Chain A
């Protein structure tokens, strides 16, 4: 369920990057304060462990298929939330860089979906509470399954929301949520079962790894304040979004229709996002409106798209100009030009490659 850059708008990606980077910086600061133990080293080695364990498939009972571990919950249990979040962040980076699994702009989204929820919400609020100090095997399993399921539900819902707000996919909110949530319920339960199986083994062999309080020094109780702060920030952002939705569209809270039927809505959404995010993004939305593409406006689809959008109302003098979201892919020259450009780029690539080879042979 790694988000890809292709489905994220700069506004959403940037906002989630800011949230995740803030969490990472805060986690790093907290870690530095308690760096007396070997936590750094364990972060590295356990991060790599999760990475390796993800590649060891297991059979999912009752089905013919196999699954693998996501690992956020496991890391939180073994490392504590702060170190676990950083470890998860780095694992996602490796996956994005080496395997193109998830993108660079979407890294913030992914760290939030797969790191924030299990580490800062599910682990302290669900797992720790349920497990208590002296859990039995059954309780450990139950807590892990519940925590795994809840964590992945939240993460999957995050994917749905980020996709919706990015406005690039036209999937209606309801459909997408119905696709994502049940699948991830199953995945989450399996995740919990696997985590529990692993914990059960470690619990038997080295209980102090699972619950530092069981034998070792008393663990510092997880402070609720940061979680509350994060939630407050989240509420603020969501609140802002909702009120903006509600104010620009009287029926804006009709969720399932938000991205559904209209071709204009995603465009509006995107344009709004850019306006929201000021600066560069503002530029990207407005500049195409002033460009020299007016020769394409005689095509009727363009005019149709331009009519009736908020842009037309906001800037009356612009109403004849093409809507910013109308792509040059709609005109013949755009398509031809794109093909030519691609051919040119291929030639540049080949030329550079040949030159490099010649240099290599010469040197």
Chain B
């Protein structure tokens, strides 16, 4: 399947998930944005070689996904597809940091392996949190939440308009790719020159369409900002949720949950 179709399907799938109605989806987008930000900070500020203590933090995305009825498999696949950069950079750590810092039974563990594991865990947690945010809030929800949190109006309008047009243009792009594939014997992607005129046509059409839509929106009273269909409401449940999340992040970040639990389990041995 061409990349463009795959991407469209991916966006569509996440969008459909975001349209569900669960307790998680009913939370105010601002609350979920702030909680996700706190989560990412908690993960990113963990010490370099930490990875066992990152485990408790996984509760946040897992619980959100489960309560939000988002299939884990979908998120897992996205994570795998997006992982190469972090893995490529992290995989050098075991090469450069060979100091043995621990023994797990017969296994001597170097600091580099620990930090590599930590990078993998960080990646899974933070990228998973971003996908979770989207799948439980929806793009429009994230955009309007950002706007209410003080993001510049032009940026928010741009967020929302971009999203509107992605489907239109990706559809046209997919048609162009298909047309090219059907007419080229080799099955190879277009050369740079052909790509230029292919994308150029797409661009010109997009440009004209943008102007037409703009005129139409102006004539309907567009004043530069997108009206929210559903006004955001921050209730008591939202405050409680946010406070609970932040408290949990602080506890997981500073409380050494894994360490203490493990000590209980193995009988106090360090």
Contacts and interface: CB of A to CB of B under 8 A. Distances in A.
A42 interface: yes
Contacts of B58: 341-342, 345
Contacts of B209: 45
A301 B40 CA distance: 29
B15 to A, nearest CB: 9
Given A52-B172, A201-B197, A329-B117, A28 B86 contact: no
Nearest to B62: A349
B131 interface: yes
A97 interface: yes
Interface string A247-270: 000000000000011010011001
A104 interface: yes
A338 B52 contact: yes
Contacts of A25: 152
B70 to A, nearest CB: 10
B140 to A, nearest CB: 12
B129 interface: yes
Contacts of B162: 43-44, 47-48, 51, 87, 90-91, 94
Interface string A267-309: 1001000100000110010011001110110110100010000
B90 A332 contact: no
Contacts of A196: 196
B61 to A, nearest CB: 9
Contact of B104 (A44, A69, A293, A332): A332
A207 interface: no
Interface in B29-85: 36-37, 40-41, 43-45, 47-56, 58-59, 62-63, 65-67, 69, 72, 78-79, 81-82, 85
B66 A348 contact: yes
A139 interface: no
Query: Of B65, B165, B215, which is in contact with the most chain A CB atoms at under 10 Å from its CB?
Result: B165
Interface stretch (A30-38, A119-127, A212-220, A311-319): A30-38
B262 A336 contact: yes
A57 interface: yes
B27 interface: no
A172 B93 CA distance: 10
Nearest to B191: A59
B74 to A, nearest CB: 11
A5 B127 contact: yes
Contacts of A292: 256
A341 B258 contact: yes
Contact of A337 (B102, B164, B203, B262): B262
A274 B99 CA distance: 24
A120 to B, nearest CB: 16
A171 B96 contact: yes
B234 interface: no
Given A49-B206, A58-B192, A356-B69, A44 B165 contact: yes
Contacts of A96: 130
A18 interface: no
17 contacts: A2-B85, A41-B217, A97-B131, A100-B131, A105-B41, A169-B89, A171-B96, A198-B203, A202-B200, A206-B204, A284-B45, A326-B49, A329-B114, A333-B269, A336-B266, A341-B59, A356-B67
Interface of B: 2-4, 7, 10-11, 14, 22, 36-37, 40-41, 43-45, 47-56, 58-59, 62-63, 65-67, 69, 72, 78-79, 81-82, 85-86, 89-90, 92-93, 95-97, 99-102, 104, 109, 111-112, 114-115, 117-120, 122-123, 126-131, 133-134, 139, 142, 151-155, 157-166, 168-170, 172-173, 176-177, 188-204, 206-207, 209-211, 213-215, 217, 224, 253-254, 256-263, 265-266, 269-270
Given A41-B161, A100-B128, A201-B196, 7 more contacts: A47-B162, A59-B191, A87-B162, A103-B126, A105-B41, A333-B269, A341-B58
